């Protein structure tokens, strides 16, 4: 009999499996319908011997010392600060938009102060910021919006930014200095030997049993367990009783080229040309040396694995209905990106899983106290 069945061996499931086995001494069965652990962060060596990410580039960054120190138990790190270039009118320009982006695009020589004035003169006055378009045009005006954001967002989401919630673009900054880092978090690094190796270390414990190629629906009622942690899609768990939660998906096309370097940085965005949104070259992330290089093209689509919850008010309402059902199911814990229908970064999922473990261990402690108290009561009444 397992204490816990954990559905999904991504960050959410693996962190909980590790904590429950290592810290609480619980017997855990963790399953995944895929043929590997690591969820969407899974990486592997391709035919050319290059470490690539099966589900697109995963760049680790966090401001949380707790999350970083927790993961550091299972991996060493390679310092890496992410930089992205965007192709606009035949030029490769840094994104997020910064001083160099604007100067190179318009052949200017602005200082930071001048850029600030320039942006103030071109930004639009939007009374109420509701959509992704509102967010961007109110910061950088129509021309930069059209060149850098509109096409990319339309490809990525299959919708115009004017139809998308403001949350999608509100986390993209505009900088008036030359800082061309994609993220500004305190901790920015890649697992030295890759994500999969890190997951292997997390899950290597005599109390953890792993079953791959195993869908939860095929296991229901077959294997006995006490409690369930579900990190798959919450609507799937409840048999889509209120309908399907929509997701945007991606088709990844992996290629190897017979050159040492394909592009100057790890990720190059294509907002206006081609059907793909971006190309990732992994050697920049990993520092690997090889005569060849491997890259991934990302083609957004509607059919396929669920990757991005679609941020629209009607979807938030639909999720709320499932959340209410989940709240009424106390012996099942819904954790992670799919089970809470939120676009979380890896560090946020780790933090959510660690918080869930803390809640579970407090609950277990409370249950043990009640059992003990009941034992004393019956001893007293017998004597
Ligand atoms: C293209 C892309 C790029 C990303 N880049 C970054 C990045 O650069 N930095 C960052 O911090 N985050 C990034 N993320 C987000 C990151 O992938 C997630 O935060 C993280 O993987 C979520 O972990 P999870 O455990 O919640 O979900 P997942 O990794 O999706 O794991 C859930 C697992 O559950 C399994 N499962 C589902 N249903 C069942 C079932 N019925 N039975 C058995 N198994 C089931 C799935 O197969 C899956 O392996 C990116 C995501 C995508 C899609």
Q: pLDDT, tens digit, for every residue of 153-178?
A: 999 999 999 998 888 877 678 999 99
Rama region for 141: left / alpha / beta (φ>0; ψ in -120 to 50; rest): left
Tokens of 239: 């048999």
What angle (nearest 5°) sits at the alpha carbon of residue 204, between those of residues 234 and 59?
Answer: 60
In this prediction, residue 378 carries a pLDDT of: 64
What residues contact 362, with CB distance under 8 A and at least 6 apart? none
Query: In the chain, how long is the greatest CA-to-CA distance?
Result: 92
Asked whether 186 and 106 are in contact (CB, 8 A), the reply is no
Sheet (strand 225-230) strand order: 208-211, 28-31, 2-7, 225-230, 332-334
Q: What is the best residue among 8, 35, 60, 190 to mutate for testing ligand 1's pocket, by most ligand atoms within 8 Å of CB? A: 8
Q: Confirm or reject: Cβ of 307 under 6 Å from ligand 1.
A: yes
HEC per residue, 234-254: HHHHCCCCCCCCCEEEEEEEE
d(CA 321, CA 130): 23
d(CA 374, CA 132): 57
Residue nearest to atom 37 of ligand 1 (CA): 232
Asked whether 301 and 251 are in contact (CB, 8 A), the reply is yes
Q: Which residues of 99-122 are buried (b: 16+ CB within 10 A; e: fewer)?
A: bbbbbebeeeebeeeebeebbeeb
SS3 at position 152: helix
In this prediction, residue 169 carries a pLDDT of: 76
Asked whether 297 and 252 are in contact (CB, 8 A), the reply is yes
Which residue ranges of the chain lie beneath pLDDT 50?
Answer: none
- Short-list 190, 232, 171, 298, CA closest to 31: 232
Q: What is the DSSP string of 259-279?
A: SS-SSSSSEEE-SSSSS-SEE
- The predicted model scores a pTM of 0.94
In this prediction, residue 141 carries a pLDDT of: 95
Q: Which fold has domain 2-80+192-244+307-359?
A: Rossmann fold (3.40.50)
Q: What is the best residue among 58, 81, 84, 284 to mutate for testing ligand 1's pocket, by most ligand atoms within 8 Å of CB? A: 58
In this prediction, residue 380 carries a pLDDT of: 60
C-alpha of 295 from chain center? 20
Q: Confirm or reject: Cβ of 345 under 6 Å from ligand 1.
A: yes
d(CA 43, CA 12): 17
d(CA 131, CA 164): 5
Please report the atom of ligand 1 found closest to the CA of residue 337. Answer: 26
Q: Give the relative orientation of helices 99-106 and 112-122 as an angle to the nearest 10 degrees.
A: 70
Q: How far is the CA of 343 from the centre of ligand 1 (A)?
A: 10
In this prediction, residue 372 carries a pLDDT of: 64
Beta bridge partners of 31: 7, 211
Q: How far is the CA of 353 from the centre of ligand 1 (A)?
A: 13
Domain with CATH 3.40.50.720 in the chain: 2-80+192-244+307-359
């Amino acid at each position: 009999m397992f204490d816990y069945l954990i559905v999904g061996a991504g960050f959410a499931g693996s962190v909980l499996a590790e904590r429950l086995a290592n810290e609480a001494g619980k017997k855990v069965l963790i399953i995944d319908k895929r043929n590997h652990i690591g969820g969407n962060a899974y990486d592997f060596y391709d035919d050319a011997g290059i470490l690539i990410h099966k589900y697109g580039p995963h760049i680790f960054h966090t401001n949380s010392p707790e999350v970083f120190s927790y993961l550091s138990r299972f991996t060493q790190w390679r310092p890496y600060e992410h930089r992205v270039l965007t192709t606009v009118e035949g030029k490769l320009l840094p994104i997020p938009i910064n001083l160099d982006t604007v100067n190179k695009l318009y052949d200017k020589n602005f200082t930071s102060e001048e850029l600030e004035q320039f942006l103030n003169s071109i930004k639009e006055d939007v009374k109420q910021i509701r959509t992704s378009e509102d967010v961007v045009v109110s910061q950088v005006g129509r021309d930069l919006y059209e060149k850098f954001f509109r096409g990319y967002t339309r490809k990525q989401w299959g919708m115009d930014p004017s139809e998308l919630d403001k949350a999608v673009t509100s986390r993209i900054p505009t900088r008036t200095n030359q800082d061309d880092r994609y993220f500004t978090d305190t901790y920015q690094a890649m697992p030295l030997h890759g994500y999969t190796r890190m997951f292997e270390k997390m899950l290597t414990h005599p109390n953890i049993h792993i079953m791959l190629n195993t869908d939860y629906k095929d296991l229901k009622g077959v294997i006995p367990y006490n409690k369930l942690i579900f990190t798959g899609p919450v609507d799937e768990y409840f048999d889509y009783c209120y309908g399907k939660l929509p997701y945007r998906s991606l088709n990844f096309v992996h290629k190897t080229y017979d050159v040492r370097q394909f592009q100057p940085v790890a990720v190059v965005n294509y907002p206006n040309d081609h059907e793909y949104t971006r190309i990732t070259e992994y050697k920049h992330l990993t520092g690997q040396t090889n005569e060849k290089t491997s890259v991934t093209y990302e083609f957004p689509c509607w059919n396929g694995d669920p990757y991005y919850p679609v941020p629209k008010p009607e979807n938030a309402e639909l999720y709320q209905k499932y959340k209410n059902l989940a709240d009424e199911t106390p012996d099942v814990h819904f954790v992670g990106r799919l089970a809470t229908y939120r676009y979380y970064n890896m560090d946020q999922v780790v933090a959510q899983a660690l918080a869930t473990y803390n809640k579970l261990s407090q609950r277990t402690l409370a249950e043990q106290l009640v059992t003990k108290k009941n034992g004393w009561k019956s001893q007293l009444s017998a004597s």
